[in-house]
Amino acid sequence: AQSVTQLGSHVSVSEGALVLLRCNYSSSVPPYLFWYVQYPNQGLQLLLKYTTGATLVKGINGFEAEFKKSETSFHLTKPSAHMSDAAEYFCAVSEVTGGFKTIFGAGTRLFVKA
């Protein structure tokens, strides 16, 4: 069965500092991996996804994530945090074998200090 673990329900960084949000997954088959962001009073919005090919994936707003199969990880990074990055971030996994089931992590709320 698939599962997703996001380490840290809250992460606080200073503006301009590196953002690192951690995600580990469990899947018995090759996974598709996603990061979504949720701003207050809004639905989730896709930041980036990994399906196949290059393991370093670039997304919107300067975010990127690296798929590391040996570590079963898909951590999200951004070199320099902006105040507008403050939001909740969700890692998600679905199976290559098909179906419509995507498993989401519990989310990490990012705080950005001025």
Partner 1 sequence: ETGVTQTPRHLVMGMTNKKSLKCEQHLGHNAMYWYKQSAKKPLELMFVYNFKEQTENNSVPSRFSPECPNSSHLFLHLHTLQPEDSALYLCASSPPGQGSYNEQFFGPGTRLTVL
Q: Which of 32, 66, 77, 86 binds partner 1 (CB under 8 A)?
A: 32
Element (H, E) at 67: strand 64-68
CA distance 114 to 108: 19
Q: Which of residues 54-113 bind partner 1 (CB under 8 A)?
A: 90, 94-107
Q: Which of 4, 13, 65, 76 binds partner 1 (CB under 8 A)?
A: 4
Nearest to 59 by CA among 35, 26, 91: 35
Q: Map tokens 């950005």 to a residue.
A: 112
Q: Does 46 bind partner 1 (CB under 8 A)?
A: yes
Classify the phi-psi angles of 70: left when phi > 0, otherwise alpha if psi is within -120 to 50, otherwise beta: alpha
Give the nearer residue to partner 1 in terms of CB position, either 42 or 70.
42
Amino acid at 61: N
Kindly state the smallest distance separating residue 8's Cβ from partner 1, in Å: 13
Kindly state the smallest distance separating residue 17's Cβ from partner 1, in Å: 25
> Footprint of partner 1 on this chain (CB under 8 A)?
4, 9, 32, 34, 36, 41-46, 49, 51, 90, 94-107
